[in-house]
């Protein structure tokens, strides 16, 4: 799995691409980060002695697109909890939070370790990887992470998550700033 830093990089980039400045509230950023990280709470399965390959094991149901969809509905309702916003205005946020939740499992399919990700659970519990897996899998636990392997994982995430994410943010932000500055 990518580290929490890798998933947070994707969430920050997604938020910067998606939201207008006035939407980037503290609540927006907290929900965005939690949404991108939440699927990894299934590492509790190790403590609970749930086998890795089990439906609720690590990288199982909670890494699925279905779970991302459920999460997006919950997080959108939390984001708009203090308003009477109509569904038409909530729709883009449902898609945004879904994409953040889905990004977790999808990023994990690009890692070079584990049993794969149950992207289509609960309908299909097959675990998938992409054929090309350039992101080094993170060791689980703080002590193993504070080794040379942990540093190599972070370098891998900088190369394969941070730099492409920053590039997407720049590509989506520059045209808008350029047009505002030169057209209006």
What is the mean pLDDT, run by run of 10 residues, along the chain of 184 residues?
Answer: 87 93 91 96 90 93 98 93 77 95 96 94 96 90 82 94 95 70 53
**CA-to-CA distance for 115 and 61, rounded, in angstroms?**
13
User: 51-79 b/e with 16+ CB inside 10 Å = b?
Assistant: eeeeeebbbbbbbbbbbbeebbeebbeeb
Please state whether the predicted TM-score (pTM) of the whole model is above 0.85. yes
CB atoms within 10 A of CB 86: 9
Output the pLDDT for position 128: 97
**CA-to-CA distance for 102 and 119, rounded, in angstroms?**
9
Output the pLDDT for position 178: 60
């Amino acid at each position: 799995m990518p580290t929490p830093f890798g998933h947070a990089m994707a969430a920050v980039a997604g938020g910067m691409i998606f939201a207008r400045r006035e939407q980037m509230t503290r609540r927006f950023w907290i929900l965005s980060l939690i949404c991108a990280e939440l699927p990894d709470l299934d590492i509790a399965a190790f403590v609970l002695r749930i086998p890795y390959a089990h439906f609720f094991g690590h990288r199982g149901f909670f890494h699925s697109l279905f779970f991302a969809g459920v999460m997006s509905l919950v997080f959108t309702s939390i984001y708009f909890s203090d308003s009477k916003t109509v569904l038409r205005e909530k729709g883009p946020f449902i898609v945004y939070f879904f994409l953040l939740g889905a990004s977790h499992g999808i990023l994990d399919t690009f890692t070079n370790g584990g049993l794969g990700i149950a992207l289509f659970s609960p309908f299909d519990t097959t675990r998938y990887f992409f054929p090309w897996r350039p992101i080094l899998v993170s060791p689980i636990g703080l002590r193993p992470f504070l080794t040379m392997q942990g540093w190599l994982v972070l370098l891998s995430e900088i190369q394969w998550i941070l730099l492409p994410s920053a590039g997407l943010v720049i590509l989506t932000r520059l045209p808008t700033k350029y047009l505002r500055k030169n057209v209006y």
